[in-house]
Chain A
Amino acid sequence: GAGVSQSPSNKVTEKGKDVELRCDPISGHTALYWYRQRLGQGLEFLIYFQGNSAPDKSGLPSDRFSAERTGESVSTLTIQRTQQEDSAVYLCASSLVQGWTEAFFGQGTRLTVV
């Protein structure tokens, strides 16, 4: 498809396990963003990738969270030793850098830590 694709759509994991979430951005979009949205809350910025520049990691809540992106392709968000407070929807978005165009979101990964 032409949109942002995220997988899995749902993930239930036990407390203490590691999880990996995947985001496939729109082709040609050099900017990629990860956000977290807890139930009933707003979007919380996590990390931003732009091309081959160093990522902006200022939103990562703890060292249990990390993300990678190779070039302008797929990104993975990894949460180690998951905690119950990590339960949320993790949204990925991509955008062009040139021009003031909007960000396009994937459908998100709903993570439940039990």
Chain B
Amino acid sequence: RKEVEQDPGPFNVPEGATVAFNCTYSNSASQSFFWYRQDCRKEPKLLMSVYSSGNEDGRFTAQLNRASQYISLLIRDSKLSDSATYLCVDRRNTGNQFYFGTGTSLTVIP
């Protein structure tokens, strides 16, 4: 089983739509998670951290479900500029390793 698994998509949604991605992780002891965004031919950049209480940043909401071992990312009112690949990351507290999912591709259509 992979450390972090994501649906690769692609997700093609119209402007203004709400879209949600889920990501499952294998290590029940993990406590630190992130969502990164990667634009075509660019490096990954942090989108947001995922706190156990959930967190929101504008149109973006990230949540953690420990019981089912998944994290989610919700994007409301999608913009064309949201088109990118979204990477789910598990940062292990032991060993200090970052485990990246393979990414979910989103295209927002005019």
Q: Which residue numbers of A lie inside 8 Å of B, CB to CB?
A: 31, 33, 35, 41-43, 45, 48, 50, 56, 91, 93, 95, 97, 100, 102-108
Partner of A43, one of B34, B87, B91, B96: B87
Nearest chain A CB to B91 CB, angstrom units: 6
Shortest beta-carbon distance from B107 to chain A in Å: 14
> With A and B bound together, what is the CA distance between A107 and B42 in angstroms?
7
Complex contacts, A95 vs chain B, CB 8 Å: 96, 98
B14 within 8 A of A: no
Do residues A105 and B98 form an inter-chain contact, with CB atoms below 8 A?
Answer: no
0/1 string, B22-55, CB within 8 A of A gives 1: 0000000001101000000011111001000000
Query: Closest Cβ of chain B: how far from A9's Cβ, in Å?
Result: 11
Closest 10 CB pairs of A and B: A42-B102, A100-B32, A105-B43, A43-B100, A102-B46, A103-B98, A107-B43, A105-B44, A102-B34, A108-B43
A31-B46 contact, Cβ under 8 Å, with A100-B32, A102-B34? no
Residues of A within 8 A of B95 (CB): 56
Inter-chain contact B31/A42, CB cutoff 8 Å: no
B97-A48 in contact (CB<8A)? yes
A100: which B residues are within 8 A, CB to CB? 31-32, 49, 91, 93
Contact present for B44 and A43 (CB under 8 Å): yes
> Nearest residue in A to B2 (C-beta to C-beta)?
A42
Say whether B97 contacts A106, CB under 8 Å. Answer: no
Instruction: List which B63-103 residues lie within 8 A (CB) of chain A.
Output: 87, 89, 91, 93, 95-98, 100-103
With a CB–CB cut-off of 8 A, which chain B residues contact A104? Answer: 46
| Known A31-B96, A48-B97; contact A105-B32, beta-carbon cutoff 8 A | no
B95 CB to nearest A CB, Å: 8
B102: contacting residue among A41, A50, A91, A105, CB under 8 A: A41
A23 to B19, CA, bound (A): 36
Q: Which residues of A contact B43 (CB under 8 A)?
A: 91, 105-108
